[in-house]
Amino acid sequence: MDVEKKRPGLSMKGTAVIVCAVLAAAAVFFAVDYYRTGRRYSSAGYAMGAVVTQNLEGRSAQETAAKILQDITAAERKSLSRTAEGSDIYRINAAAGNIRTEVGADTAARLTETLALCKASSGALDITLGAVSDAWGIGTGARRVPPAGEIAALLRQTGYGKVRVEAAAVTHPEGQSLDMGAIGKGIACDIAKDIAAANGIDKAVVSVGGSVMLYSSSDRETFTVGIRNPDGTASEYMGILTLKNGFVSTSGNYEKYFELGGKRYHHILDPATGYPADSGLTSVTVFCQSGLASDALSTACFVLGYEKSLPLLEKYSAQAVFIGGDGKVCVTGGLKDLFKLTDERGFTLVDQL
């Protein structure tokens, strides 16, 4: 039987359940005195192919939320989308064949940072898999398991090392297709953080699919973040993190997939094989001080697996929670005292996977 599963209203990335912001904001700190003070504002919108939820506190909360959604949408339309005609990535792909494409300064900077992450991950993250992803069609009505020969031929065209960014010009070879899906939502969170800080917001939690921005003007503020149970619904979580300012991103094999012949094929592809990554993990949640990096690292670590992820996380001063397919959970050192396992029947904390 061919069955495709996609959680409604959610993105390709696995979703970290934001207890204080998305599911239970009214019970924590945003709803208190909202109507009396007018300083707290909550909203939900859509951008980057995902639901965007915002919970802001500050004198210009409503106006700032509108600005955040506007700028995220503009970044998608003008820079990051591979399907919106006229966007920088769309034009780069249209000019594949080592034709120089002039792009915006933001796009060039994001590509440079992302390519460095691709290299640091030894190719576990690779933004040149667009054509391979298209061949699988996961998330579309054309999902299928491509023939091995087709995947092999497409893989010969991939390779982040073939992309050149010189000042504001980008070149890459014919047949290659850039796809910023593994970092777009993290970039959206970076945009949200910059706007919140610039507009004097006191506290903010902005979720874009599976990437979340946590911001407070006070270094004493903490946020409660729930990590989703990979076997449960979008509102079920298996553990809780207590964090200060930063960014959280989760990648998982449960968010977008189809089943055929009793086998699950999920959307996170291993650049080395062209097939869904099989590292023994069901999800990876990464916390660090960059939205782009948290998003990219969650994907790369999911592909790499636990052991091979540790040097990469250290390089980017990032921390992570790994969930194995057997229900074992491993938390890196910087989060050990900040993580609480709430589902002890389905999961077990271990020192390493």
What is the average per-residue pLDDT within 176-185? 97
Element at 294 (helix H, strand E): helix 291-304
Closest CA to 75 of 49, 53, 109, 106: 106
Q: What is the pLDDT of residue 255?
A: 84
Instruction: Provide mean pLDDT across the span 128-153.
Output: 95
The answer to whether residues 9 and 233 touch, using CB atoms and an 8 Å cutoff, is no
Residue 290: strand, helix, or coil: coil
Average pLDDT of 106-111?
A: 98
The whole-number pLDDT of residue 38 equals: 56
Mean pLDDT taken over the chain? 90
Neighbouring-strand partners of residue 206: 54, 213
How many angstroms separate the CA atoms of 273 and 142, rounded? 21
Give the span between the Cα atoms of 133 and 152, in whole angstroms.
13
- Reported pTM: 0.90
Distance CA 329, CA 227 (A): 11
Domains and their CATH numbers in the chain: 42-81+180-217 (no CATH), 96-177 (1.10.3980.10), 222-350 (3.10.520.10)
Using 50, 70 and 90 to split pLDDT, how confident is the model at 24? very low
State pLDDT tens for residues 298-349: 999 999 999 999 999 999 999 999 999 999 999 999 999 999 999 999 999 9
Quick check: 250 pLDDT over 70? yes
